[in-house]
Structure 1
Amino acid sequence: MHLETPPAPITFRPFAGPADYPAMVACANASFAADGTGFFRTVDDVARDYASFTSCVPERDVWIADAGNEIAGYVRSWPWAQADGLQLYSQFAVVAPHWRRQGIGAALHAWLEERQRTQAATEYGSAPRHAHHAFVTQGETARAALLEKAGYTPERYFFTMVRPTLTDVADFPLPEGLELRPVQPDHYRAIWDAHCRAFQNHWGYCPLDDVDYLKWLQSPIFQPHLWQVAWDVHSHQVAGQVRTYIDAAWNQGNGRQRGWTEFISVGEPWRRRGLARALISHSLRAQAAAGMTESGLGVDSQNASGANRVYEDCGFGVDRRNCAYRKVLVV
């Protein structure tokens, strides 16, 4: 296999363990800042994530451009499958701004695609279809250009929406027959299952399993004291939910007090009755009570249930237009 190789002093190597975390974080945060993505990671964040991976083996699936006293860039690969059988191979990629335009990104990407082709042939050969997959945030123009040059095309657009204040929150009432209940530990599985059911027909849906559930229980965004969950008073089923969270590291890195109005779902029997708006209004008030001054969320730009309009009614506006790129992978 021929890979583009940039000038010395760069050498390429696999992930070497936790000792790499500080330099990886420095590289990633420099890349995020240069592209204006708003992302911010800490060593603790990366250590926690890498310890919990189930479909990615870092020693095998991470490739690093080593500049001696720093990491110039790195990529990470992991597989997942849509419910329709499409086998996907995702990627994370960063190059520090002062190391760009030297062929490092192209060399890392060539390694990543070769790794994914090998994995497709040796581990997922029975899958009916395969594709490389990359999520690109607005601002990552150099990465988008590299992907397009490599034959990737935009598959779907996603918006990051922001409500710039948490004042004047509209009071949308809960539909009749539903009530909010404080979240208890014996509710967790019902809440998880209801959300999975609500999303099973959405674009790109990936079925989740018990391992995913256990990881969710340990996630830093697992903050049930902020969640807004509506229950049907007659059937005692979860009708809808907003699993609000606060990312303290993101807020510190960006100098903001933003909460996240995320994991919004309404079960099919309770849709088109105003439940999502009611849950969002409760979520926004909970964020304000927790000291937040703004809120954000992500949404599929082609959401079939009209979520964009609902979020606009609740005071959110589009802040970023992000893109999922894909490229057919032939085994």
Structure 2
Amino acid sequence: MGNDEGWPAGLEARPIEKDDAAAWAELLAAKEKVDAEGENYNADDLLEELADPSLDAARDSIGVWSGEQMVAYGVVRAPDEVVDVHRVRTEGTVHPEWRGRGIGSVLVPWLNRRAAELHQERQPGAVGEINTGAIETNTSALDLLTGFGFERCRYFFSMERDLAKPVEVPPVPEGLRLVAFSPAYDETLRVAHNEVFMDHWGSSPKSPESWKTWFTGSRAFRPALAYLVMDGDEVVAYTLGYEYVADTEATGIREVYVGQVGTKRSHRGRGLAAVALAKVMAEAAADGFQRASLGVDAENPTGALGLYERLGYTTKNTWITHRLPLG
């Protein structure tokens, strides 16, 4: 790929490979020190991302290099299926010490072009758009996106809760059972998740392959911190917890990240999500976790924000998703 894309002099761009994971992790660590997004990655985390079967890293990723240092990166991802809009997601950053040199002004068009190509390859008949996000405090990133025609379309809150405060687990309604996750429930859980998130903005059904990659097959997934509410053999509510070792190493705080919380429409209004979530929090506290965190759509139609606030979560920061129509 070289420097035929207009990168500043002295820089080289090429797809990200497995051997680049350590340099990629160094770039993200430098970004976190300045942008304070609360996200940390080690090389193993990034190798797992490159192993995603739906990612063609040779075409959908780019690393920008100054010698042996990765000074910027970008990745493009597309969903398994389309519900309403084919939302192709892009991500990327420039090393803080290399900002202000025009790298982002080349990186964003590269990501946009690849996103458009991916849309045409996978879902040419669907309405398409690019989605990308930035924390609200990163004003330079927000200005860059606006300059390329992106518009704000959705707000998400990152929330956290100190587990030193007692966690009360509500009683399970009569006729239902609260059970710990086991692989025997995995496919039933995936189907339930797809149904639960059908009416959530930006969500699309997860295939068995992507479910294994990003959910219960993830290195960070903790089966002991995952609980399901059962109605007979049916999963009707659930909470899944994850632990990111790189976060603990960077912050010194052991945190359970609540990746998914949901209740089937047929069983909403009975407090089942609160039962499963509180149980996960209580088990995490008993196991020595110091904090719980999660992310929530500010306009979540199920009232999730209120649930989290009642359980003691407070907002740490706000992320803004931007959109750019395709075609």
TM-score normalised by the chain length of structure 1: 0.91
Tell me the distance in 1 between the aligned counterparts of 2:88 and 2:277.
33
Cα distance in 1 for partners of 2:152, 2:161 equals 27
Q: How does 1:219-230 map to 2 (within 5 A)?
A: 219-230=218-229
**C-alpha separation in 2, matches of 1:76 and 1:86:** 20
Contact 2:130–2:325 (CA<8 Å) still a contact in 1?
yes
Preserved CA contact (<8 Å) 1:64 1:108? no
Q: Deviations over 1:62-95 (max 9, x none)?
A: 2222111311111111222664342222111011
Once the two structures are superposed, what CA deviation does each residue of 1:187-244 show, in whole Å capped at 9, x if it has no partner? 1211222122111111112122122233244211332121121112xx3311211112
Aligned length: 323
Counterpart for residue 94 of structure 2: 95
Q: Provide the C-alpha distance between the structure 2 equivalents of 1:117 and 1:261, rounded to a whole number of angstroms.
A: 32
Match of 1:27 in 2: 27
Q: How do residues 212-251 of structure 1 correspond to structure 2 at under 5 angstroms?
A: 212-215=210-213, 216-232=215-231, 235-251=232-248
Per the alignment, do residues 184 and 318 of structure 1 end up closer, same or farther by CA in structure 2, a change over 3 Å counting? same
For 1:1-331, list aligned pairs within 5 A: 4-6=6-8, 8-11=9-12, 13-15=13-15, 17-54=17-54, 56-80=55-79, 83-121=82-120, 123-124=121-122, 126-215=124-213, 216-232=215-231, 235-330=232-327
CA contact (8 A) 1:81 1:88 kept: no
Which consecutive unaligned segments of at least 5 residues does structure 2 have?
none
Secondary structure (helix, strand or coil) at the match of 1:287 reads helix
Offset at 1:296? 0.5
Residue 125 of structure 1: CA displacement? 6.1
Asked whether the equivalents of residues 166 and 293 of structure 1 are also in contact (C-alpha less than 8 Å), the reply is: yes
In the alignment, the residues of structure 2 paired with residue 283 and residue 49 of structure 1 have an alpha-carbon distance, to the nearest angstrom, of: 26
Determine helix, strand or coil for the equivalent of 1:157: strand
Secondary structure at the counterpart of residue 302 of structure 1: coil
Quote the Cα distance in structure 2 between the aligned partners of 1:181 and 1:284: 15
CA distance in 2, matches of 1:70, 1:291: 37
Aligned Cα root-mean-square deviation (Å): 1.9
TM, length-normalised to structure 2: 0.92
Gaps of 5+ in 1: none
**Ranges of 4+ aligned residues in structure 1 off by more than 4 Å:** none
1:276 match: secondary structure: helix
Say which is worse superposed, 207-216 or 37-46, in terms of deviation: 207-216
- C-alpha contact 1:166 1:284 (8 A) present in aligned 2: no
Which of 127-136 and 98-107 deviates more? 127-136
Specify the SS of the correspondent of 1:291. coil
1:16 shift after superposition: 5.4
Q: Deviations over 1:30-85 (max 9, x none)?
A: 1122101111111111112202241x211112222211131111111122266434
CA contact (8 A) 1:284 1:295 kept: yes
1:119 shift after superposition: 3.3
CA contact (8 A) 1:241 1:279 kept: yes
Q: Distance in 1 between matches of 2:165 and 2:146?
A: 42
SS of match in other structure, 1:143: helix
Preserved contact between residue 133 and residue 325 of structure 1 (Cα < 8 Å): yes
SS for the counterpart of 2:292 is strand
CA contact (8 A) 1:38 1:254 kept: no
Task: Render the CA deviation track for 1:131-177: whole Å, top value 9, x for unaligned.
Answer: 11102234333222111111101111111111123322234222222
Q: Secondary structure at the match of 2:173?
A: coil
